[in-house]
Structure 1
Amino acid sequence: MSRMRKGGDSMTYLGVPLFIGAPKRRWLIPWADKIKSKLESWKGFSLSMAGWLCLINSVITGSFLDSFQVYRWPSSLLKDLNAAIQNFFWTGSIDGRKSVQVAWKSCCRPKDGGGIGVKDLGILNKAMLKKFTWRLLTEESFVFTYLRARFFTQDHRPRTWYVVSSVWPGLKLHYTPLMIESRWLVGRHSKVRFWMDNWLGDPLINLVEDRSSLQPPLDSVVGDIYSDATGWDILASFKASHPDVASEIEKVVVSTDPDSLVWTCSLDGVVSCKSAYDSLSEVRSSVFWGKQIWASFIPTSRSVLIWRLFHGKIPTDIALRARGFISPSRCRFCCAAEENLRHLFLDCLFVRGLWDAVSSTFGHKLKLNGTCLILWQEAMRVVFSTQMQAL
């Protein structure tokens, strides 16, 4: 630990200064401006949308990871950064706008859900803070021991008074939700609170109607009720008033290990960045073509085109006209009809000739009287040769 400014201690975590007691906004805004300058300096117009997507996922999102798991960024700043990344993905410039584009919420869905896997910075910030809060509650390293001594009381409960810190405001928002979503596995000489903590599926205090005289007392811990020699020592009055609850308590197996906290929203009981992000983002069902279009044998630029097609966001003449662009419309292939999605990919005579050539090459007749999604689904059912399957 080193002194970085008078009146406040500071230390680093993964290279990020915690600035205990120091203002953080003064440090975050220049960081955000630096990211926007990096986006603006790239030669975006020389790349395809696939190239822009690769830069966003590999460089820009990674630039925030260390800071996001320590600080709660202002929502206005995250909204501004999300808008800059969105504009860069569609136009190659942070200030450019495109008329026909997929909603950014849809872009931030996972690929199997019909998105492109871009992370929403606001949700990512919350997910990483949630993981940091979990580590604060469960790990015993020097950093987390130091932070617990600063932010928690001696009985490991959050301090109720104001704590001067730029780290704690982001962590305390996730403490209560985490404790609601978590459950204690009681161990030998357990210090888990008998009434207030969730170790039976729900805190026992919520299962009791008459709270005037709680027996055992409200400040009791599980270790006061259970011993290795006699097992559960539940009062007869408690069994008489709450027989179902007493029966559930007697079924609990006490471990020989110390008390441990498990998160009920994941299979392994641990909060990871991915599981926290999934729990905070909107639940979306998967689509059958979600992962198919991003297969390794399909160039990423073509995958982006197919993705836009399935969302109906190709800038055809009819789509631009719906957004206020007044211009005549004519198919550039057959010059005999207006340019819309169905005509451009299915009905055009020139395009049908291309589909017939593909069908004869692979020996499978494709039906073009449905939609693009039906055509894709039918094409994916074709059994190719062993050389094609190897791809």
Structure 2
Amino acid sequence: MERLFHLIDVAVTHKLWKPIKLSKGGPALSYLAFADDLILLSEAYMDQVEIIQQCLDGQKVNIEKTRIFFSKNVTWAVKKEISDALKFQRTNNLGKYLGVTIHHERVNRRLLRSVMEKVNQRLSLWKTRNLSFAGRLTLTKFVLAAIPSYTMQKVFFPRQACDEIDKSCRSFLWGHTSDQRKIHAVAWSKICKLKNEGGLGLREMRLVNRSRFGPVATSICSQPSKLWVQVLRDKYKCGNEMMPVIKKKPTSSNIWRGICDAWSSVQPLIAWNVGDGKQVQFWMDSWLPSRTRLSEVSLEPVPEQEKGKSVSKYITEEGTWDLNHIRYLLPTSVWLEVIGSAPPSLVTDPDVLVWGGSSTGTYSMKSAYNAICTISNGSNVVFNLIWKWCGPE
């Protein structure tokens, strides 16, 4: 495979192989590989057929498993001519890869029918009459709700599809059968609250989908060198800063709509470990140990000329804090936290993005879901006080 990749790279360098681009100035894509699986990408011209055949010469290609996929812009005559020359079968659907459907059109409930069928198939194997409420709760939480989670990592589900899965889980929990309906004694929204807020800890599929897209959204910031990140950042004009501009467009792909949906919940929880202080905005970013954003606690509106400054701009030539001119803007406790923090240094590593939703700085689905749930539904202060009550029980 390495030899094949080298041949393709040489052909691209000499402008023989014409790779595709998803945006005008985006990175050129000539092949994608994972393990022994390979996707070759090129423009649909007959001169490319000869180049592809030359690169594949000496490789064992499984004709039966190989398919050729064309975009909708290619005419039928060109499709037939190219596929006949390559002797590969044409297809309009690349099927599934690693258990996830490769979508070529707008994702809707019909395309996600296989996920719903898995949920309903699992339900048909269980007899609700022989299970207690606690048993149904356990199965709903750890089995039913887990079925769509894998697909949700890379596919943004329409709200109707999420509601349909919630409905199946809700019906099973309360003991519905094909010939008997049961009363729902407690609202689903209350059941899905966190346990420390009086709920049962079940998860709403819409929020699960959002939390599953969290790692994808944070990678747009923290891993700009990855190819797929470069493609998305250029295609959707995210800017050159590490913190991207995330905007939803009518023509957005499914994965970008998922990123946009998760971004409003994920972005406030992105924090920084300060290195040289050049990337971190002093007022607008979360970089203190307490994860406080200084713009949110300032005693007066932050002057416009100060808002965009990085942390490194508040350091003297000797490497100490230079904050006297903004002392009046900060509460005493915050001021002490700032001057108690180590100032950035030019000899240290660059600033690093971390996940502010957990104490370790590492993204986890549990911390993400809990944070998103709190943002979406609001936290219940009363229940937090009860759980922390130190008096007699």
After TM superposition, the score normalised by the length of structure 2 is: 0.56
What is the one-letter code of the residue matched to 1:154? N
Measure the CA separation in 2 of the matches of 1:114 and 1:211. 43
Counterpart for residue 350 of structure 2: 258
For residue 222 of structure 1, the aligned residue among 303, 306, 311 is 311
Counterpart for residue 202 of structure 1: 293
Measure the CA separation in 1 of the matches of 2:303 and 2:370. 38
**What is the Cα deviation at residue 241 of structure 1?**
5.8
2:166 matches 1:82: yes
2:242 matches 1:153: no
For residue 267 of structure 2, the aligned residue among 179, 183, 188 is 179
Q: Residues 231 and 176 from structure 1, CA distance in 2 versus in 1: closer, same or farther, beyond 3 angstroms?
A: farther
- Residue pair 1:131, 1:276 contacting (<8 A) in 2 also: no
- Residue pair 1:18, 1:167 contacting (<8 A) in 2 also: no
**What is the Cα deviation at residue 274 of structure 1?**
0.8
Q: Output one character per residue of 1:80-106: Cα deviation in whole Å (capped at 9) or x when no partner.
A: 221222112222537842136444344
- Residue pair 1:52, 1:89 contacting (<8 A) in 2 also: yes
After TM superposition, the score normalised by the length of structure 1 is: 0.56
What number of residue pairs does the alignment pair up?
281
For residue 64 of structure 1, the aligned residue among 145, 148, 151 is 148
**What is the Cα deviation at residue 166 of structure 1?**
0.8
Measure the CA separation in 2 of the matches of 1:287 and 1:202. 25
Structure 2: gaps (5+ residues): 1-31, 33-38, 42-68, 74-93, 388-392
Structure 1: gaps (5+ residues): 290-376, 378-391
Measure the CA separation in 2 of the matches of 1:70 and 1:136. 14
Measure the CA separation in 2 of the matches of 1:277 and 1:51. 24
Measure the CA separation in 2 of the matches of 1:147 and 1:171. 10
Measure the CA separation in 2 of the matches of 1:144 and 1:18. 18
DSSP 3-state at the match of 2:266: helix
Measure the CA separation in 1 of the matches of 2:202 and 2:368. 16
Larger Rg: 1
**What is the Cα deviation at residue 65 of structure 1?**
0.9
For residue 120 of structure 1, the aligned residue among 204, 229, 244 is 204
- Residue pair 1:16, 1:67 contacting (<8 A) in 2 also: yes
Counterpart for residue 319 of structure 2: 231
DSSP 3-state at the match of 1:62: coil
Measure the CA separation in 1 of the matches of 2:115 and 2:229. 27
What is the one-letter code of the residue matched to 1:184? W
DSSP 3-state at the match of 2:114: helix
- Comparing 279-288 with 193-202, greater Cα deviation is found at 279-288
Percent identity among equivalent residues?
A: 22
More helix as a share of residues: 1
Q: Residues 149 and 112 from structure 1, CA distance in 2 versus in 1: closer, same or farther, beyond 3 angstroms?
A: same
